[in-house]
Structure 1
Amino acid sequence: MGLVTFSNPEFKDKTVYAVAGSHTETILKLAKEHRVPVQFDCQDGECGSCLVHVTSIDGKDRMGGPLTEKEKNVLHELGKLTKEEIEQMLVDDLPSEWRLACQMIVRDEDLLVEF
């Protein structure tokens, strides 16, 4: 079980428990369940409205699941990832700090999610 802290300058930070390994617990689903106002539209990884910045709270390398193809395309279109960075992520096996909340599956780690 991990802790996810949602942070936004316009709202008070909120930390919630996240059940790891369910393969359905996205950052967006977790936010909605706990009434955290993360913006979203399509909920399918195509519009980019749920863009979040995700970092590790404890300073460890984040495990986060790999980016979906939709996520890679949208993050590239939004200018958050270059093609070279996408290729390097595959080599290093490290996820991007920029994610789509509707696509990122929560793992057993403590995260800071800025939206």
Structure 2
Amino acid sequence: MGKISFVGMKLVEKVQVDVGHSPDGTLLELARAHGIPLPCDCMEGNCGACAVKVAPLRPETSMIRLSERERYLLLAVGKLSQLQYRADTLPDHPPLWRLACEYRVTDEQIMVAFD
């Protein structure tokens, strides 16, 4: 079973959410369902307001692939460098900026940080 820990300036303390064995939906949907105040303007991946830092809670590094839409928006809002934008895959350590509305929840353990 996965576990997602949310930390942010709008939270008094860390909030942990258990994720079932067959999770469905986005990080933003999960946060909203649990009353976690992630910033968001459009909920459709058009504005970049829901950018969060996602850190896996495991020691090894994995390579991840961002969608073209997510890469473009993160570049547009200054959360991704040109070098990162052009890369096919990126290491998940150090934590990467991701769009909560695009990040699909899986059975994993991650820390999500937001303003």
SS in 2 for 1:76: helix
User: Would the alpha carbon gap of residues 38 and 62 (structure 1) be closer, same or farther in structure 2, given more than 3 Å must change?
Assistant: farther
SS in 1 for 2:14: strand
Q: Which residue of 1 is the match for residue 82 of structure 2?
A: 83
SS in 2 for 1:98: strand
SS in 1 for 2:75: helix
User: Would the alpha carbon gap of residues 28 and 55 (structure 1) be closer, same or farther in structure 2, given more than 3 Å must change?
Assistant: same
- Deviation string, structure 1 residues 51-103 (Cα, Å, up to 9, x no partner): 10000122333576x32222111100111112321333x1x464571001000
Q: Does 1:13 align with 2:49?
A: no
How far apart, CA to CA, are the structure 2 residues paired with 1:63 and 1:105? 16
Q: What is the aligned-residue identity percentage?
A: 32
User: Would the alpha carbon gap of residues 21 and 77 (structure 1) be closer, same or farther in structure 2, given more than 3 Å must change?
Assistant: farther
Give the 5 Å matches for 1:25-64.
25-62=25-62
User: Structure 1 residues 33-42 or 77-86, which shifts more?
Assistant: 77-86
Q: CA deviation at 1:14?
A: 0.4
Superposed CA RMSD in Å reads 2.2
How far apart, CA to CA, are the structure 2 residues paired with 1:49 and 1:68? 17
What is the TM-score of this pair, normalised by structure 1? 0.82
Q: How many residues align?
A: 111
What is the TM-score of this pair, normalised by structure 2? 0.82
Q: CA deviation at 1:32?
A: 0.7
How far apart, CA to CA, are the structure 1 residues paired with 2:41 and 2:20? 24
User: Would the alpha carbon gap of residues 29 and 62 (structure 1) be closer, same or farther in structure 2, given more than 3 Å must change?
Assistant: farther
How far apart, CA to CA, are the structure 2 residues paired with 1:78 and 1:20? 33
Q: Is this contact kept in 2: 1:62–1:109, CA < 8 A?
A: no
Structure 1 counterpart of 2:104, which letter?
I
Higher helix content, 1 or 2: 1
